[in-house]
Amino acid sequence: MKSYSLYIGIMSGTSLDGIDLVLVDCSEPSPQLVHSLLYPFPTELKAELSALAQPTDNEIERMGPAELQLAQCYAAGVSLLLRQADLNASDIQAIGCHGQTIRHRPTGPYPFSYQIGNMHQLAAETGIRVIADFRRKDMAYGGQGAPLVPAFHQAAFAKSGSNRAVVNIGGIANISVLKADGTVLGFDTGPGNCLMDDWVQLHRQQAYDDNGAMAAAGTLQPELLQKMLQDPYFSQPAPKSTGREYFHLPWLQQQLTGEVSAVDVQRTLCRLSAQSIADCIKPYQVSDVYVCGGGVHHPVLMHDLQQLLAPAQVESTNAVGIAADWVEAIAFAWLAWAYDQNQPGNIPEVTGARKACVLGIEYRP
């Protein structure tokens, strides 16, 4: 009889499109998705979390209530996930929760990364152990605390003798290059959906560019594209990581000079995401590129990636049996499992840390 080892993964990313919750069987040989759920943010909380991602007034007084409300949303999502899967809290080994990043400053004399979520509250409300705060141990050893998914990508997607890449396109895009010799490289390439989301919200009052319709209506502006690609982040060597506190609407507005239509800007932002991703992958001569995250549903972005990365094959992670919408959440369930196995969750070559570390802190109910 099969023995199950069930973990819940919770991921709420920079796109703020909702809370991803997954139930994962982490029994060997590889993690398997059992059930998944997208839990919506209350409108006011989403707006507050977005505001907290930028320097603002009275941040600590505002962060405290937001953190508690976020934990309550996480707990409500866990309760619904368990009901839908017909399971109890006692069936779950632990929750791996990323938390909501409100600031990521990985460089400078005092680097830090801050994810909120009140994990004590989450453990108390669910009655399940929570493993969280995955980034700061890596940073204590000189790493950037990001990206953390490459270790999971290696476990789930690597194939001996083949150079592969995994691209996660959320608000920010990150890549993992899984080399044929077993080594792994990875870093944040820059904006994924975040600038496109901000632009369509500004001009059409939509949370995202549904089916890439706004981008498809526009014409690529090469001069604007080249101007944006001159930002120092794109030429910065790895290890590197970034966030919405860097690539945001004011950043975009500083790039705009002269008259460019809103749809043309959107088309160019789409190519910026694709170009910055492709430029980072092409030197490694990969044969297959697997894409996950919200960007996989943007047909113009996917077309651009295929065009820029040819002859490599670009397709969704669905092609190898891992649902593209849930890869990051599965990764944090896996990181909780790795914590329980005393297995390192970072890759020093990716983050720049001085050593591999077991990541996370345990919060008991």
Annotated binding-site ranges for ATP = 13-20
20 vs 172: CA distance, rounded Å = 16
**DSSP character at residue 321:** T
Q: Which two tokens stand for residue 108?
A: 């400078």
**Cβ neighbours of residue 115 closer than 8 Å, sequence gap 6 or more:** 98, 99, 100, 101, 102, 132, 133, 135
Binding-site positions read 13-20
Among the listed residues 82, 3, 74, the one whose alpha carbon sits nearest the alpha carbon of residue 39 = 74
201 vs 218: CA distance, rounded Å = 16
What are the start-end ranges of the H helices in 141-229? Answer: 150-157, 194-204, 213-216, 222-229
Residue 300: Cβ-neighbour burial (10 angstroms; 0-12, 13-18, 19+): buried
- Maximum distance among all alpha carbons in the chain? 68
Q: Which two tokens stand for residue 152?
A: 């999971």
